[in-house]
C-alpha cells in the first residue's frame, strides 16, 4: 500500500477484517506500506499491522514478495504509480478519482490491459448493502422505467475560510475540487444504478479564493502551517444536469460548503412504478415507495437492509445489528480478492474510472463554455 493516512487506515482495516467475515481463496497479507517520511511510515506500519515499510514507492513496486499494489495517495500521484505497478505485473486497487485528466486515466487503463493485471477503483458506496439491494430492485423491474436520478453529495468541512490550503484545494494535485472529490462518487452511483451518462451541463464556483497554507492530518482534518496565503485553484461547489443514454434525466449537486451536512451522500430515483431513496448517513436503510400499494397505505417504507437477503449483510450480525462506513470497503476488497483469483477485474474498475473521468471533464468544459457537452466514450 502506498500512503497511510485517511484511506490508508481505511484500507488497512478492510484487509484485516476481510478474513474475519468473508472466505476468499486469495487472502490479503499486509506485507509492506510505503511513505516518504521514515519515522511516520514506520509508526503507521506498526499501528496498522504492516510487516515492513519502504520510503520510496518505486522500491515497493519492485519487490517480488508483493502481488497487489494499493494506491491511497493524492490524485496527482495515481498515474505514475499505477502505470509502474502495471508494468511490474502487480494487480492494482486505487482510490478515486482515477487520475487528474482523461488523458492520464486512459494511459492507466491501457497499462493495466496491456499487462493483464486485475484492477479496481474504490467507489466504495456501491458496496453498501442498501445500495446493492437498490440495484437488485431496479434490475428486477420493481421501479419500471426510470425517469429521474437525483444525486447530492454535501459536506461542510472547508466552510471555515481559515481551513488551510491542503492538497484537495490545489488543481495540480487534486484535478478538481468538490467535482472529483465527491461528485465522482455520485456519478459512480448513477452509473451503477441507472447506466451510462450521455451529456451534461453544469456550473462550478469557488467561494473562498485564498487560504492559509497547510496540510491534511488524517480524515478530513487539517492544520495551518504558515501565515502565508495561497490561491484555491479548484471548485468549492458544482451543480449539473445530465441525460442518460437510456433517457433518464438527472440532477447532481456536490459541495463542501453545505453547513450542517457532514457527509450527506444521497440519491433518489423515481421510476414509473415507484421511487427509492438512500442517504449515506443512514446507510443501512433504503426507502422504497411503490405506486401499486393500496390507497391509504401509500407512502415510503423504510427497509433496514440487514437481513440475509440483502447483499453482504448476512456475513455480519443478526438483522437490525447495523454496519458502517468501513464495511463498504471490506465488501469492495472482497470483490477485489475474488477478482485476483478469477483474473477478472471487478466493477468498478479502471474502465469505469475512465468513463467517470470523462464525465468530470465534460462538467468542467460545460461550466466554462456554458453549453451542454456530450460525453465521448
Secondary structure string (H, E, C) spanning the chain: CECCCHHHHHHHHHHHHHHHHCCCCCCCCCCEEECCCHHHHHHHHHHHCCCEEECCHHHHHHCCCCCEEEECCCHHHHHHHHHHHHHCCCEEEECCCCCCCHHHHHHHHHHHHHCCCCEEECCHHHHCHHHHHHHHHHHCCCCCCEEEEEEEEECCCCCCCCCCECHHHCHHHHCCCHHHHHHHHHHHHHHHHCCCEEEEEEEEECCCCEEEEEEEEECCEEEEEEEEEEECCCCCEEEEEEEECCCCEEEEEEECCCCCCCCEEEEEEEECCEEEEEEHHHCCEEEEEECCCCCCCCCCEEEECCCCCCCCHHHCCCCCCCCCHHHHHHHHHHHHHHHHHHCCCCCCCHHHHHHHHHHHHHHHHHHHHCCCEECCC
Which residues from 310-339 bind ligand NAD, rule CB under 6 A? none
Note whether 75 binds ligand NAD by CB under 6 A: yes
Note whether 5 binds ligand NAD by CB under 6 A: yes
| Locus of grid cell 495540480 | 172
Which residues from 158-197 bind ligand NAD, rule CB under 6 A? 181
Give 5 or 115: the residue with its C-beta nearer to ligand NAD: 5
Give 54 or 248: the residue with its C-beta nearer to ligand NAD: 54
The interface region with ligand NAD, picked from 5-13, 47-55, 156-164, 252-260 by CB under 6 A, is 5-13
Give 4 or 336: the residue with its C-beta nearer to ligand NAD: 4
Give 244 or 336: the residue with its C-beta nearer to ligand NAD: 336
Query: Binding string, 210-239, against ligand NAD, x = CB under 6 A?
Result: ------x-x---------------------
Give 75 or 306: the residue with its C-beta nearer to ligand NAD: 75
Residue 330's CB is within 10 A of a number of other CB atoms, namely 24
The length of the chain is 377
Answer for which of 1, 3, 108, 137 binds ligand NAD (CB under 6 A) is: 3
Q: What is the spatial distance between Cα 14 and Cα 28, in angstroms, rounded to a whole number?
A: 10
- Shortest approach of ligand NAD to residue 145 CB, angstroms? 31
Measured at the alpha carbon of residue 76, what is the angle toward residues 74 and 77, in degrees to the nearest 5? 75
C-alpha dihedral, 243 to 192 to 328 to 299, nearest 10°: 70
Give 6 or 257: the residue with its C-beta nearer to ligand NAD: 6
Note whether 77 binds ligand NAD by CB under 6 A: yes
Give 35 or 311: the residue with its C-beta nearer to ligand NAD: 35
- Shortest approach of ligand NAD to residue 137 CB, angstroms? 24
- Shortest approach of ligand NAD to residue 46 CB, angstroms? 15
Give 12 or 366: the residue with its C-beta nearer to ligand NAD: 12
Note whether 4 binds ligand NAD by CB under 6 A: yes
Count the residues of the shown chain that bind ligand NAD, applying the rule CB under 6 A. 22
Note whether 72 binds ligand NAD by CB under 6 A: yes
Q: Are 356 and 184 in contact (CB under 8 A)?
A: yes
Phi, psi of 261, deg, nearest 5:
-100, 105
The interface region with ligand NAD, picked from 1-9, 107-115, 254-262, 367-375 by CB under 6 A, is 1-9
Which residues from 119-158 bind ligand NAD, rule CB under 6 A? 122, 124
The interface region with ligand NAD, picked from 70-78, 240-248, 309-317, 348-356 by CB under 6 A, is 70-78
- Shortest approach of ligand NAD to residue 288 CB, angstroms? 25
Give 159 or 173: the residue with its C-beta nearer to ligand NAD: 173
| Locus of grid cell 461547489 | 237
Answer for which of 66, 69, 70, 73 binds ligand NAD (CB under 6 A) is: 73
The interface region with ligand NAD, picked from 72-80, 136-144, 314-322, 363-371 by CB under 6 A, is 72-80
Give 57 or 289: the residue with its C-beta nearer to ligand NAD: 57
Q: Work out whether the CA dihedral 328, 281, 217, 186 comes out positive or negative.
A: positive
Rule CB under 6 A: which residues touch ligand NAD?
2-8, 35-36, 57, 72-75, 77, 95-96, 122, 124, 181, 216, 218
Amino acid at each position: 500500500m502506498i500512503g497511510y493516512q485517511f484511506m490508508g487506515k481505511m484500507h488497512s482495516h478492510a484487509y484485516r477484517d476481510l478474513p474475519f467475515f468473508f472466505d476468499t481463496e486469495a487472502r490479503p497479507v499486509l506485507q509492506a506500506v510505503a511513505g516518504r517520511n521514515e519515522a511516520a511510515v514506520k509508526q503507521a506500519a506498526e499501528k496498522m499491522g504492516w510487516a515492513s515499510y519502504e520510503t520510496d514507492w518505486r522500491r515497493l513496486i519492485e519487490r517480488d514478495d508483493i502481488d497487489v499494489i494499493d494506491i491511497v495517495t493524492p490524485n496527482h500521484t495515481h498515474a505514475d504509480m499505477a502505470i509502474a505497478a502495471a508494468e511490474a505485473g502487480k494487480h492494482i486497487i486505487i482510490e478515486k478519482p482515477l487520475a487528474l485528466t482523461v488523458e492520464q486515466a486512459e494511459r492507466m487503463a491501457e497499462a493495466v490491459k496491456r499487462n493483464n493485471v486485475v484492477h479496481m477503483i474504490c467507489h466504495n458506496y456501491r458496496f453498501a448493502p442498501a445500495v446493492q439491494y437498490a440495484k437488485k430492485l431496479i434490475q428486477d423491474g420493481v421501479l419500471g422505467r426510470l425517469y429521474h436520478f437525483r444525486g447530492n453529495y454535501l459536506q461542510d468541512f472547508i466552510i471555515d475560510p481559515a481551513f488551510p490550503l491542503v492538497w484537495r484545494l490545489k488543481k495540480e494535485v487534486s484535478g478538481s475540487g468538490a467535482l472529483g472529490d465527491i461528485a465522482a462518487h455520485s456519478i459512480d452511483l448513477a452509473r451503477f444504478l441507472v447506466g451510462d451518462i450521455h451529456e451534461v451541463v453544469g456550473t462550478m464556483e469557488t467561494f473562498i479564493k485564498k487560504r492559509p497554507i497547510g496540510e491534511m492530518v488524517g480524515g478530513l482534518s487539517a492544520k495551518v502551517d504558515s501565515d502565508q496565503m495561497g490561491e484555491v485553484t479548484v471548485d468549492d461547489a458544482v451543480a449539473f444536469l445530465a441525460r442518460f443514454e437510456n433517457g433518464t434525466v438527472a440532477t447532481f449537486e456536490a459541495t463542501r460548503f453545505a453547513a450542517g451536512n457532514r457527509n450527506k451522500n444521497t440519491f433518489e430515483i423515481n421510476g414509473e412504478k415507484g421511487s427509492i431513496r438512500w442517504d449515506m448517513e443512514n446507510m443501512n436503510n433504503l426507502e422504497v415507495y411503490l405506486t401499486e400499494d393500496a390507497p391509504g397505505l401509500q407512502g415510503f417504507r423504510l427497509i433496514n437492509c440487514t437481513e440475509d437477503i440483502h447483499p453482504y449483510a448476512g456475513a455480519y450480525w443478526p438483522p437490525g445489528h447495523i454496519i458502517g462506513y468501513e464495511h463498504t470497503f471490506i465488501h469492495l476488497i472482497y470483490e477485489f480478492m475474488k477478482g485476483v483469483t478469477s483474473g477478472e477485474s471487478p466493477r468498478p474498475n479502471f474502465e469505469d474510472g475512465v468513463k467517470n473521468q470523462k464525465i468530470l471533464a465534460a462538467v468542467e468544459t460545460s461550466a466554462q463554455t456554458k453549453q451542454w457537452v456530450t460525453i465521448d466514450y
